[in-house]
Amino acid sequence: MKSKLYFLTALLFLSQLTVAQNFNPTEAQGTTGNSGTGINIDVVYTRCDWNMNPTASKVVAGTITTYFKTITANVNTLSFDLNKTSFNNGSLIVTYHGSNCTKSFPASGNVNILNITLPSTIVASGTLDSISIAYSGTPPAVSGQAEGYQRKQDGNLNWYHYTLSESYEDKDWWPCKADMQDKIDSMDINVTVPWTGTDTFWVAAPGKLIDSAINAGTRTFKYKHRYPIASYLVALGIAKYKRYYRGTVNINGTNVPVVYYIFPDMAAGTVTTALSRMDVSKTELVEFSNKYGPYPFANEKHGYYQFGWGGSMEHQTFSAMSSGSMTSWSVIAHELGHQWWGDKVSFGTWNHLWLAEGFAKYSEVLAAELIPAIGVTPASHLSSVKTTARSTNATPVLLSAASIANSNTIWTTNNDNAVYQRGCMIVSMLRSLLGDAKFFQGCRDYQADPLLAYKSATTADLQRNMENQMSGVSLTPFFNAWVNGSGTPSYTGNYYISGKTIQLRLTQTMSPVGNPFMPMPVVVKIANSGGTIDTSVVIYHHTQTQLAYAGLPVEGVGPVGNDFITYTLSFTPVTVTVDPDNKTMATGTLTSVGSPLNASILDFSVSKTAFGNQLSLLLNANEPADKVVLLKSENGIDFTEAGIMTTINGQANNFRFTDVLPYSKVTFYRAKIYAGNNIHYSSIIKVQEPGKNNLVISPNPATDVVNISFANPAKEKVTIRVVNADGKVVIESATNNNFIHYDISNLPAGMYVTQVIQNGQVSATGRFVVNQ
């Protein structure tokens, strides 16, 4: 009866808990985790009751009670991630409504899966239920990048415990469903430690500390965390911490407590520096809230605590830091940025790790920009990021399936450089491309997206929210190139200055050679002769021959299709520099030229039609041509004028001409383009005419009647068409014979073309002359 009463009480508690929160619970999931556990449940709430003694050993002992909702019918088994070697012992007891459950681990393959057989079947899908797992054991030692749960001593020889579960080491110290797409909606963390006097041990954990009762030589620290959390972000630090309570920061009317926990061995001078540096995060908390949306965990806390690893880790509400990290302005900003990017909105799978690390790295840049007191310019901080990102030209930002097999395959130098440095540059380029207003609105929309907020996302979700800021602009080419692809672009090009007007043309080359073109924004800084006046423009290099205005306050990105681009400035430009502030991945030099940049040819092509050879010419739209003349030749050397190419549907850069009198064997074409005071020529197109004509016209020349014969052995229906020199059809009729006669007495004198059309195709052509 007690177990049922307890369970009903817990159900009431959970229902009240859900109503009290300002977020939507994560939706029911199967399993999208790396191990495949928990396929039939959605984790709703977890209570962790631990008993730890760092002085005595590294042993982790406790009971984990998980409340879940079934997402399939007839559930009679459950599975959780748990290290078999450490915890498959007599202390492992699983209970369901007070009854012991049968349990086992796989004998081979991924053996770190705890399989549980329930004593009775949960029949209905959507049933809220619970399971308790009592366990005790020693977590594994560090193995490369796999940290997990460790025990160390500080400089005063005080023992302490700390955790670092990223990426798959949560299972190494507690039973969980390791799946970022099924976050734990709410947690209670209760840790009992020895207490023999003032500050024997203190516990750091996510959430709000609500109690720390002392009882007969122990002290139990109780944390409540009422926001969804991924299992790898659950964390503990157990040490003889000195605590520093640094007041509150008001975020949208909520006073957020700020607290730091530091080991007692840190030198006084270092503590002073650390406190000063970490206090800058209070300003960052406000600034980041303005840019990304309100701080996600305002009802609980913001802070940093020291741990035993050499770097830092973005544990939710309470980032873990080495002593060096506590004095590093960039790490402090980075881990705070993670509270939005990685914690509130996690990545759906480890393939998309860059969504967290790229934005957290860019948060360092943002801190340098928004807080001058840091003493670092964004351009200088981006310089090293860009250098590393450019040298990482073979590893995609989107990690492969092989790369995410385990922590040691994820956390390699190349992957780190890709997800952190190139990821940061992708974020910077998105900002340049969209402009500040649209970029940061996209960030806020992403964070507030009901499909993503306190849940998880993929790269496609970020792309969707950024595209939503613009009208009719697809970022698919950009994301495909920069997230899925690899390579590093460099730039050459030229510019022409006339008064206060400047024209720019860009040419991208790739490393390694042969890699495809990478669409990207290119920032160009333009200054006057003394450098006293300057401006930066953003050009979206959409394809190798198409540019667009970018970073626009209204449109974000303008229409594409231009080979070069023109800006009219408020000053006379003199110097031109490619991306001196390191906002994009572009490097290179543009060269001044003495004449205007002319419209380049995007396409010059020919197609055979029933009326003759149809020539099409497409130019860039920046400077429409004044006139285009089509030239033709029998030998590709001696060209004569075929006619004037005319615009199509009023499009000033799109021209067409139909040559109804091509040469009998082969015809060469090229376009002569008049633009301002300049003349340009297209490449030459060669058109081979059918080798066997079988068309006879007599008499030729003719005055009143013309006789036309042609091959039609199957007696199929064919159309005979006579076209004048202007391309106009003057006679047309159909026949099943292999000959036809026409009265031409009313035709004006001149050259005419006869076409035989079978099945919609011209099968034979011939010419005749009318003399009147």
Per-residue pLDDT tens over the stretch 9-24: 344 444 444 433 444 4
Residue 670 vs residues 563, 655, 682: alpha-carbon distances, Å: 20, 13, 6
CATH superfamily of 372-594: Aminopeptidase N, middle-beta domain (2.60.40.1840)
pLDDT band at 3 (very low <50, low <70, confident <90, very high): very low
Token pair 């799946």 in the structure block, residue? 179
pLDDT of residue 96: 98
273 or 660, which is more confident = 273
Which ranges of 476-600 would DSSP assign to H, the alpha helix?
Answer: 476-479
Specify which of 139-148, 498-507, 621-630 reaches the highest per-range mean pLDDT. Answer: 139-148
The token duo for 600 is: 């380049």
pLDDT of residue 727: 77
Tell me the average pLDDT across 571-596: 95
Nearest by Cα to 353 from 363, 367, 364, 338: 338
Q: Mind listing the pLDDT tens digit for each residue in 188-247?
A: 999 999 999 887 999 999 999 999 999 999 999 999 999 999 999 999 999 999 999 999
Which of 283-287, 396-400, 675-679 is predicted least confidently? 675-679
CATH number for the region 695-770 comes to 2.60.40.3080
Average pLDDT across the chain, whole number: 91
Q: Mind listing the pLDDT tens digit for each residue in 441-493?
A: 999 999 999 999 999 999 999 999 999 999 889 999 999 999 999 999 999 99
CATH superfamily of 601-688: Immunoglobulins (2.60.40.10)
Distance CA 673, CA 679 (A): 6
pLDDT band at 690 (very low <50, low <70, confident <90, very high): low
The token duo for 710 is: 């042609």
Q: Mutual orientation of helices 378-391 and 354-370 as an angle, nearest 10°?
A: 150
pLDDT band at 638 (very low <50, low <70, confident <90, very high): confident
pLDDT greater than 90 at residue 599? no
The token duo for 475 is: 């970022």
pLDDT of residue 686: 87
pLDDT of residue 623: 61
The length of the chain, given as a count of residues: 772
Distance CA 509, CA 544 (A): 9
Are the C-beta atoms of 52 and 195 separated by less than 8 Å? no
pLDDT of residue 95: 98
What's the fold here for domain 1-239? Immunoglobulin-like (2.60.40)
Q: Which amino acid is at 115?
A: N
CA trace torsion 491, 494, 498, 502 (10° rounding): -20
Q: Mind listing the pLDDT tens digit for each residue in 328-364?
A: 999 999 999 999 999 999 999 999 999 999 999 999 9
What's the fold here for domain 241-344? Neutral Protease; domain 2 (1.10.390)
**Burial (Cβ within 10 Å: 0-12, 13-18, ≥19) of residue 767:** middle
Nearest by Cα to 232 from 283, 167, 177, 153: 167
Q: Mind listing the pLDDT tens digit for each residue in 88-126?
A: 999 999 999 999 999 999 999 999 999 999 999 999 999
CATH topology identical between 241-344 and 601-688: no
Q: How far is CA 631 from the centre of its chain?
A: 48
Nearest by Cα to 662 from 700, 683, 688, 695: 688
Pairing, β 640-644 against β 678-681: unpaired
pLDDT of residue 198: 81
Residue 663 vs residues 223, 384, 696, 722: alpha-carbon distances, Å: 89, 62, 16, 17
Residue 581 vs residues 240, 384, 385, 587, 588: alpha-carbon distances, Å: 45, 12, 12, 11, 13
Nearest by Cα to 355 from 419, 274, 272, 297: 419
Distance CA 689, CA 667 (A): 8
Q: Mind listing the pLDDT tens digit for each residue in 358-382?
A: 999 999 999 999 999 999 999 999 9
pLDDT of residue 624: 67
Q: If DSSP codes are grouped into helix, strand and coil, which group holds residue 289?
A: helix
Q: List the domain boundaries for the chain.
A: 1-239, 241-344, 372-594, 601-688, 695-770
